[in-house]
């Protein structure tokens, strides 16, 4: 299995748990190995700690949620002034030493500042607020984010493979080779033959005639029966049970084989035993 995340994201893993816990018992960060369980109220934050601290958050919404929780506030009743002050303090401190602060944090800072300033101003028209209430929008976003932050934790706690369960298997018994061959319809063979015949007629003067198939088949079987290295008795190539027709077919097949010089028939003396041998090798 491969690490899915870059090293920096692994870094986020450890401290990230902290903000979700109320009361700040768990360390939010570690500085030089020492846990930093809560950020000092006077906002003196060791520069290194702050860097790690910010990395622990999945963005400005996550940081805001943390600040709200720390104040024991309900999302719905954010004290915008207080949260804005804290947020600004954090990010200005980070900015002071880190130049690559993500743009998202700065955008959020601007949004908070705008909300704060609006809240301070006397309201002129109700309609205007209804259509464009920046605080409501912020609340909506925080709520959405909080939902999915929780959903991510839920997904993480689902029993999963390789951690909570493992697939089971057992060794296979000896398997018979199944019939994995393609199936063929005799008609396909015939159609193929038809194609060959057509082409054969076009290309050559080959004559593929109607054959006595029984003879050709018998030719094959006689060849298969004959040893190449020795003679066997002529009679042994006939099967009595096949009757007269069978004998004729076998005889014709042997004549054909002789003609094609595939077998050799010898008779040592007149009226003596006839022997057959294949002229082919196997």
Q: Which of 32, 100, 162, 229 binds another protein (CB under 8 A)?
A: 162
13, 21, 235, 242: which one binds another protein (CB under 8 A): 13
Among 31, 119, 248, 258, binds another protein (CB under 8 A): 119
Measure the CA dihedral 75/80/82/86, to 10°.
80
The CA distance from 244 to 240, in Å, is 8
Closer Cβ to another protein, 173 or 272, answer by number: 173
For the chain, the straight-line distance linking the first and the last C-alpha, in angstroms and rounded, comes to 56
Closest to 219 (Cα-Cα) out of 168, 167, 261: 261
Among 43, 151, 266, 273, binds another protein (CB under 8 A): 151
Residue whose token pair is 């500085």: 31
Shortest Cβ distance from residue 271 to another protein (Å)?
29
Q: Site map for another protein, 23-42, x if CB under 8 A?
A: --------------------
Residue 47: both structure tokens together:
């520069």
Site string for another protein, 164-193 (x = CB under 8 A): xxxxxxxxxxxxx-xxxxxxxxxxxxxxxx
Indicate whether 198 belongs to the interface with another protein (CB under 8 A): yes
Q: Which DSSP helix (H) or strand (E) runs through 220?
A: helix 213-225
**Minimum CB distance to another protein, residue 205 (Å):** 11
Smallest distance, another protein to C-beta of residue 185, A? 8
Closer residue to another protein, CB minimum distance, 12 or 38: 12
Q: Which stretch binds another protein (CB under 8 A): 21-29, 44-52, 115-123, 234-242?
A: 115-123
Using CB under 8 A as the binding rule, the residues of this chain from 236 to 255 that contact another protein are: none
Residue 223 burial (CB count, 10 A): 17
Cβ proximity of 93 and 45 under 8 Å: yes
Q: How far is the CB of 45 from another protein (least distance, A)?
A: 21
Asked if 15 contacts 53 with a C-beta cutoff of 8 angstroms, the reply is: yes
Smallest gap from residue 238 Cβ to another protein (A): 17
Give whichever of 34 and 188 is closer to another protein, judged by the CB atom: 188
Q: Using the rule CB under 8 A, is 268 a contact of another protein?
A: no
The contacts of residue 266 (CB under 8 Å, 6+ apart) are 231, 274, 275, 276, 277
Q: Is 160 in the site for another protein (CB under 8 A)?
A: yes
Per rule CB under 8 A, is residue 130 in the interface with another protein?
Answer: yes
The CA distances from residue 271 to 236, 247, 254, 265, 277, in Å, are 17, 19, 19, 14, 18
Near another protein by CB under 8 A: residue from 12, 46, 247, 252: 12
Site for another protein in 66-105 (CB under 8 A): 73-74, 76-82, 102, 104
The pair of three-digit structure tokens given for residue 149, joined into one six-digit string: 């932050």
Structure-block tokens of residue 275: 């022997």
226 vs 94: CA distance, rounded Å: 97
């Amino acid at each position: 299995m491969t690490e899915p995340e870059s090293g920096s994201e692994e870094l986020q893993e450890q401290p990230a748990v902290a903000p979700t816990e109320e009361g700040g018992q768990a360390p939010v960060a570690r500085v030089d190995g020492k846990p930093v369980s809560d950020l000092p109220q006077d906002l003196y934050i060791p520069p290194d700690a702050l860097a790690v601290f910010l990395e622990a958050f999945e963005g400005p919404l996550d940081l805001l949620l943390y600040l709200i929780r720390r104040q024991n506030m309900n999302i719905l009743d954010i004290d915008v002034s207080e949260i804005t002050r804290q947020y600004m303090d954090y990010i200005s401190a980070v900015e002071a030493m880190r130049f690559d602060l993500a743009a998202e944090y700065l955008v959020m800072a601007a949004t908070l500042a705008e909300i704060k300033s609006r809240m301070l101003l006397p309201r002129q028209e109700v309609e205007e607020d209804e259509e464009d209430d920046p605080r409501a929008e912020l609340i909506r976003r925080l709520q959405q984010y909080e939902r999915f932050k929780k959903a991510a934790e839920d997904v993480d706690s689902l029993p999963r493979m390789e951690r909570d369960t493992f697939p089971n298997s057992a060794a296979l018994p000896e398997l018979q080779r199944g019939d994995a061959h393609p199936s063929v319809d005799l008609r396909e063979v015939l159609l193929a033959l038809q194609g060959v015949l057509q082409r054969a007629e076009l290309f050559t003067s080959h004559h593929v005639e109607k054959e006595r198939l029984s003879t050709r088949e018998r030719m094959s079987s006689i060849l298969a029966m004959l040893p190449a290295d020795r003679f066997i008795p002529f009679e042994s190539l006939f099967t009595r049970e096949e009757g007269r027709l069978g004998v004729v077919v076998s005889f014709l097949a042997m004549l054909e084989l002789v003609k094609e010089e595939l077998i050799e028939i010898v008779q040592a003396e007149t009226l003596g035993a006839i022997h057959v041998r294949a002229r082919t090798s196997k």
